[in-house]
Amino acid sequence: MRTVETVFGRAGIFTHNIETEDLGAAVLTFKNGAIGTVLGTTTWYKDDDPVVEVHGEKGYVGIKGGELALWKFQEEFEEKLPEHWPSNVVEDMVGALRDGREPVVDGPEGRKSLEVVKAIYESSSTGKVVKLPL
């Protein structure tokens, strides 16, 4: 993950009468000036797969339901993609231990994602932009 500099987020119960948030959204500002968005929700249509997309000035890539769904770039190049796109990092870790391979997301990389999620919660509770690292 590129280095996230600031996070502004909001999370809460907006649709369902449940014990935890049903929607969380955030704007991430990266050290290189790029901006990203994160959306997590239980209000997603139940029969649709999760989607991750990255768009930039030279192209985009997207993963839907653990499969490569979008791939378009201005320039052709060979990029080695992971053979396995985990939809569940816990299952991937178990598989990595079982198969004697490296997990797709290792501990240090996973910690970066956790810090972003913690910053989203902090920003949501304070209503302020949160600077990283925490």
- Would you say 9 and 128 are in contact if contact means Cβ atoms under 8 Å apart? no
Rounded CA-CA distance 119/9 in Å is: 8
Would you state the pLDDT for residue 94? 92
Would you state the pLDDT for residue 89? 81
At 18-58, the pLDDT tens digits run: 898 999 999 999 999 989 999 988 877 778 887 888 888 88
Does the global pTM surpass 0.85? no
Average pLDDT of span 10-25: 90
Rounded CA-CA distance 129/78 in Å is: 38
User: CB under 8 Å to 114, separation ≥6 — which residues?
Assistant: none
For the beta carbon of residue 105, count every other beta carbon within 10 angstroms: 17
130-131, strands of its sheet edge to edge:
35-41, 23-30, 4-12, 130-131
How much is the mean pLDDT over the chain?
86
pLDDT tops 90 at residue 11: yes
Would you state the pLDDT for residue 30? 93
Would you state the pLDDT for residue 63? 84
At 83-115, the pLDDT tens digits run: 666 667 888 899 999 999 999 888 888 899 899
All domains of the chain in start order, with CATH: 4-45+81-131 (3.30.360.10)
